[in-house]
Amino acid sequence: MKHRYELASQASAHGDQCTQQIRQELQQLRPIGAMTELGAVLGMRPHRGVLRNVPGYSTPLIFAKARQPHASDLERWQQLQDESEACYREAAELAWGIVIDDNRTIGNRRALEHAQRLQARGLTTPEEDSFILRLRAFWAEHPQATTGIVSNGKIEPLA
């Protein structure tokens, strides 16, 4: 079984590949430039060229009329951008640490839910499994608490 940090690294690398593919295809079309955010908000139009919203860019890019991307390219780029964002989200979830050192807060109940999702996928170590049990016990004993703190190996409610 691969360690979850290796899986996170692979997910991040795949997201990078998707983003890079969009950029390479975009470079071949040689955009003239990009609208400024103010220009986009004001609805300004470029003197020459055509505006196209490209996935992954916050403002429209300006293309020469002869070199503008087709609708199919924009759809494919959107799919790649969505896949890239999903990969980055997955990488962030997998890289999240479960075991918390002394004098640190444990977060809210969502931290436990996240840890249990990783545990259900078989991506936790025995040390993390024991800490998840301690988190479950803490939340069962303190249902009104908003968070807790680890001190001397125990989890106590944070006032």
The 10s digit of each residue's pLDDT in 9-37 is: 999 999 999 999 999 999 999 999 888 88
pTM over 0.95: no
pLDDT, tens digit (0-9, with 9 covering 90-100), for 109-156? 888 888 899 999 888 888 889 888 988 999 899 988 888 888 887 888
All structural domains of the chain with their residue ranges: 4-94, 99-157
How many residues are present in the chain?
Answer: 159
Within the chain, strands assigned E span 33-34, 50-52, 61-63, 104-105, 148-151, 154-157
For 53, other C-beta atoms within 10 Å of its C-beta total 13
HEC sequence for 40-65: HHHCCCCCCCEEECCCCCCCCEEECH
